[in-house]
Structures are given as structure tokens and as C-alpha cells.
Amino acid sequence: MDEKRDFLTLQDISSEEFHLIIDRAAAFKSGADASSCPLIGKSIGLLFDKTSTRTRISFQTGIYQLGAQPIYINSKELQLGRGETVEDTAKVISLYLHGIVIRTYEHNMIEKLAANSSIPIVNGLTDLHHPCQALADMLTIREQKGALKDIRLAYVGDGNNVANSLIEAALLTGIDLAIACPRGYDPDRRIYENALKKGAKVKLYTGPEEAVQDADAVYTDTWISMGQEREAARRKQIFKKFQLNKELLSLAKPDAIVMHCLPAHRGEEITSDVLDSPQSVVLDQAENRLHTQKALLEMLI
């Protein structure tokens, strides 16, 4: 039996594996292997602490298309809610399932789950990382620009889990990543410094204009993530100069694509005329969650 593999961050796969996943996802998307059911007879749990649209539906659909059974699990309905430990829960669930996708808050929760399970654990999102989104983002950029290496991607806004995973994607792909955040809202320092040490082309800016200059793709995300609602008014004030609007987009290349992982708060981090413009590829990103996650699960399970 092969040793089990987890996918908690993009650091869990090599650059070669990253590109294999993207290639396989493109094949799934083309329909060339539509009849393939490599996971027939398997059961995969979807353990969610956070509400979701794209993550839940794309994983449920993809698991079904791969021939496996998706089992949605609300963590509040488990014995976790009555005090059973994560460690004990992981050991028991491993007896029934062939893999678990988890969407939760604290990253150390999925690390505990992975350390105590005998089946693959996939990070559907934590407060620190969003690696499945980064896979879809890289497929989208490659589709639109024909390559990843040396493509200039500008990310503007909160240095959140999406930004952290884009940094790790830059290390694996050779993409040129410029990140602009207000002071004090940078991506995780350890993730950033680790990527720099390993040769990633990533640079941090405190103003959005310099980051977006001559970019091939401009990316933003919500300023207020789940669990930060109490900070909404303060964050809106701090981030207002980082809005992705027509004026900011005009600094990028004329054929630059507009990216957002959704849900979008129109009129806050992005204006509707930019989000709905011909340059926007946000729906491609959303669709590509399905294909890249299918490729990932096929590799792991």
C-alpha cells in the first residue's frame, strides 16, 4: 500500500507534481477523459466548519464525477461538538472513508487531523492557506496567457490565505508575483521569507500602483474574511485605496486579466464595471476549482 499523502499547503507537492495536476485538470476540462471513474467505490468526506458555495459544490460534483461517494459532514453534528478530540475523531473517520476535505478556521486543526488519520487530508481552506484556490488560479492564468513562468501577477488587498498560497504557487511555477497590502496586513512572514529563500520571485509593496504596473493579471480578494466581521468598518477605511477599479487596472497591460476568488463585495475591493468587464476571468477561476480538485484527488486517493 502506498504511503498516504496529505495536501495541507502547496509545499506538500513538488513543482513537477503541480504541473502534472494542472495538465490533468486541463484534460478533465476538455472532456477527453469524461468517462474515467478512477475513484469508483471510494467514499470521501467533506468536513466543513465554514459555509461555502464554490468549495462545497465543486468538491461534491468532482468526487461524484470521479466515481466516488461524497459525504458532507457538518462538524457541529459530530461528537467533536460534544468534546471528542480531533485526534480520536481522525482515527475513527479513517476507518470509514478514503479521504477527507476540510474547510475550517485554524490551520493547526487540519494538521492535527492529518497527523492522526491514515487517509489523505485535503485543505479546502483555512485562515492561513487556500491551496486548492491557487491550483485553479494557475490553471486559469495558463489558459489565458499560455504560460506561467515570468507572467507578472499583481495581488492587491489583504495579505490573507489566498495571498499566502499564491506566494507558494509562485515558488512552484516561476510566476512573477507582486503583492500590495496596507502596512500591517502583509502575508504571513514565514511563508514569504521561506519562498524567497527558495528562489521565488515575490515582492511586497505598500501601494497598489507600483505592484499593478505592467501586470499580466491583477487579483484581489475580499477585505473582510469570515470571522473578521467585527473589524469591517475599520478594514474598509484602511483598504479603500486598494480598490481594484478602472483607474488602477489602467496601469496594467492592456490585455491584463482580472481575477477574484469570490465571493466579491462589489463596490468594496472591486468595482462592478471591472468585475463584469471582458477582462474578468472570475468565472473561469470558479469553474477551474472543479477540474483542478478532480486532478488533485485522483493523485492523492
CATH 3.40.50.1370 in the chain, residue ranges: 10-129+288-300, 134-286
- Cell of residue 122, nine digits: 485535503
Residue 221 is a catalytic residue: yes
- What is each CA distance from 232 to 50, 125, 181, 238, in whole angstroms? 18, 21, 16, 10
pLDDT classification of 34: cutoffs 50, 70, 90 = confident
Handedness of CA 286, 135, 204, 153 (dihedral sign): negative
- Residue 160 gets which letter from DSSP? -
Topology adopted by domain 134-286: Rossmann fold (3.40.50)
Instruction: Note if 133 is an active site residue.
Output: yes
pLDDT at 190 over 80: yes
Superfamily of domain 10-129+288-300: Aspartate/ornithine carbamoyltransferase (3.40.50.1370)
Q: Given the residues 56, 130, 142, 260, select the one marked as catalytic.
A: 130
Catalytic-role residue among 103, 107, 129, 260 = 103
| C-beta of residue 202 within 8 angstroms of C-beta of residue 195 | yes
Choose the catalytic residue: 6, 24, 133, 216: 133
37 annotated active-site: no
Question: Which listed residue (127, 176, 221, 284) is catalytic?
Answer: 221
Residue 176 has pLDDT above 80, yes or no: yes
Among 128, 45, 34, 145, residue whose Cα is nearest residue 93: 45
Question: What percentage of residues in the chain have a pLDDT greater than 90?
Answer: 89
Judge whether residue 12 has pLDDT over 60: yes
Mean of all residue pLDDT scores within the chain: 95
Tens of pLDDT, residue by residue over 134-162, are 999 999 999 999 999 999 999 999 999 99
Cα–Cα distance for residue pair 173/149, rounded to 1 Å: 6
The predicted-structure confidence for 241-254, as pLDDT tens digits, reads as follows 999 999 999 999 99
Q: What is the rounded CA–CA span in Å between residue 38 and residue 231?
A: 45
Give yes or no: 289 in active site: yes
Run of H or E including 166: helix 161-173
* pLDDT value of position 76: 79
Candidates 203, 207, 204; CA nearest to 241 is: 207
Residue tagged active-site, from 261, 279, 291, 293 = 261
User: Which of 129, 260, 289, 291 is labelled catalytic?
Assistant: 289
C-alpha 229, offset from chain centre:
21
H or E segment and range at residue 221: none
Q: How far apart are CA 226 and CA 31, in angstroms?
A: 35
pTM score, whole prediction? 0.96
